[in-house]
Amino acid sequence: MIVQTIKVALGERSYDIQLGAGILGTIGTVCRELGLTGTAAVVSNTTVAPLYFDTVRAAMEAAGYQVLLVSLPDGEAYKNSATLNQIYDALVDGSLDRGSFILALGGGVIGDMAGFAAASYLRGIPFVQLPTTLLSQVDSSVGGKTGINHPRGKNLIGAFYQPKAVLIDVMTLDTLPEREFRAGLGEIVKYGAVLDGDFFRFLEENVDALLARDKEALIQAVARSCSIKAKVVAVDEREGGVRAVLNYGHTLGHAVETLTEYTTYLHGEAVAIGMVQAAKISKHFGYCNQADRDRIAALIAALGLPAELPAFPSEKYVEALSHDKKVRDKGLLFICNRGIGAYKMERVTDLKALLDICA
């Protein structure tokens, strides 16, 4: 049952996000309606494919498509050029031509890599996002950021490349491990903290329902998150300005992920740490008061997410921060929360001083 359709308005690259419960099996019809032809390469991983590939294959075959499964190793540590090459190899082995397309079936790691493969294979073939984690449903499947990590920095190689559609089936969240689920809630907090104060209050008031995976609360949170992101992306697809707000919590979060070699913290957990620190920094710059800062820290804690920066020498943090994509002319654009529900972008040149605020 489709409960909501949200449009990402990008002119000829516009697409719909379909949100519902039990809708994964409609993917064949969706692809036909999009006019997609040829073989469908389903890019997934060794955890998700055993759970959901059969449903996707059956739906695609019923709609008359040939299906090829590309199953990758699971984990952020595999979001790299070696795994990307595995996708290219499978596409070449399967003789996929420009009339074929990719289905990204999995979380954000799969979506980012499959999307980048779609952007670059034969200089671009269509793809559709089938996000199966909370984080990918509220964030990574929408907006067209695709790519892989580099050992020295997060998502340093990639492309802006929009999917043809996003099909979100919240029923897939039933099998998601608890820690992954909470990490997804971390990215949701971001939208409330810097873009929508009412939504932040909704999250505060619905912590228990969300943690219990109450479907009604979840659907509301996913729909609101997607709508907020769709609006931001529609006005600034390639992050020339306002889209950088979606990086709230990510500057330090990405540094944490890089320094821990993508093995210790989940992305949503690293972002949670980054948001608590960003709130501290925002207070330091006078953009929010202690009460706002406390609300952000309290919500992150209530969701069972971490808040403390792991201990590394500050030079290591400075080195990692220097590769942030928001650095221009030796100045880093740091995203602060202005109160709760609004933002302020601050140009920071002294990265060491920024870290001292967090100490």
Ligand X SMILES: O=C(O)C(=O)C[C@@H](O)[C@H](O)[C@H](O)COP(=O)(O)O
Ligand Y SMILES: NC(=O)c1ccc[n+]([C@@H]2O[C@H](COP(=O)([O-])OP(=O)(O)OC[C@H]3O[C@@H](n4cnc5c(N)ncnc54)[C@H](O)[C@@H]3O)[C@@H](O)[C@H]2O)c1
Which residues does the annotation place in the binding site for Zn(2+)? Answer: 187, 250, 267
Q: Is 43 in the site for ligand Y (CB under 6 A)?
A: no
* Closest residue to ligand X: CB criterion: 155
Q: How far is CA 137 from CA 111, 140, 168, 172, 203, in A?
A: 10, 7, 6, 10, 17
Q: Would you give the distance in Å from CA 149 to the centre of its chain?
A: 14
Q: In angstroms, rounded to a whole number, what is the distance separating the alpha carbons of residues 66 and 107?
A: 23
Q: Which stretch binds ligand Y (CB under 6 A): 87-95, 131-139, 220-228, 337-345?
A: 131-139
Q: Per the residue annotation, which of 190, 254, 283, 293 is the catalytic one? A: 254
243 binds, among ligand Y, ligand X, none (CB under 5 to 8 A by kind): ligand X
273 binds ligand Y (CB under 6 A): no
Which of 145/283 has CB closer to ligand X?
145
Residue ranges of the alpha helices (H) in the chain? 27-34, 49-62, 81-93, 108-120, 134-135, 178-195, 197-205, 207-211, 215-235, 250-259, 267-284, 290-302, 314-321, 351-358
Query: Is residue 106 a contact residue for ligand Y (CB under 6 A)?
Result: yes
67, β-bridge pairs: 40
Partner whose footprint covers residue 172, from ligand X, ligand Y, none (CB < 5 to 8 Å by kind)? ligand Y
Task: Please provide residue 211's backbone torsions phi and psi, each rounded to the nearest 5 degrees.
Answer: -65, -30
User: In this chain, which of 175, 260, 264, 349 binds ligand Y, going by CB under 6 A?
Assistant: 175
Alpha-carbon distance 281 to 42, whole Å? 42
Token output for 94? 């399967």
Residue 180 binding partner per list ligand Y, ligand X, none, with a CB distance cut-off of 5 to 8 Å that depends on partner kind: ligand Y
Given ligand X, ligand Y, none, residue 176, with its beta carbon under 5 to 8 Å by kind, binds ligand Y
Nearest in space to 67 (alpha carbons), one of 43, 40, 104: 40
Q: Is 267 in the site for ligand Y (CB under 6 A)?
A: yes
- DSSP, collapsed to helix, strand or coil, labels residue 6 as strand
To the query of whether residue 150 is one of the catalytic residues in this protein, the response is no
Q: Is the dihedral of CA 134, 135, 139, 145 positive or negative?
A: negative
- Taking CB under 6 A as the criterion, the residue among 79, 182, 224, 250 binding ligand X is 250
The CB-side HSE value for 317 (13 A sphere, CA atoms) comes to 20
Position 186 contacts ligand Y (CB under 6 A): no
- Residue 51's binding partner among ligand Y, ligand X, none (Cβ under 5 to 8 angstroms by kind) is ligand Y
d(C-alpha 72, C-alpha 159), whole Å:
20
Residue closer to ligand Y (CB basis): 233 or 332: 233
Interacting residue ranges for ligand Y, rule: CB under 6 A: 45, 47-48, 51, 74, 76, 79, 106-110, 112, 132-133, 135-136, 139-140, 143, 145, 155, 172, 175-176, 180, 183, 266-268
Interacting residue ranges for ligand X, rule: CB under 6 A: 139, 143, 145, 154-155, 187, 239, 243, 246-247, 250, 325
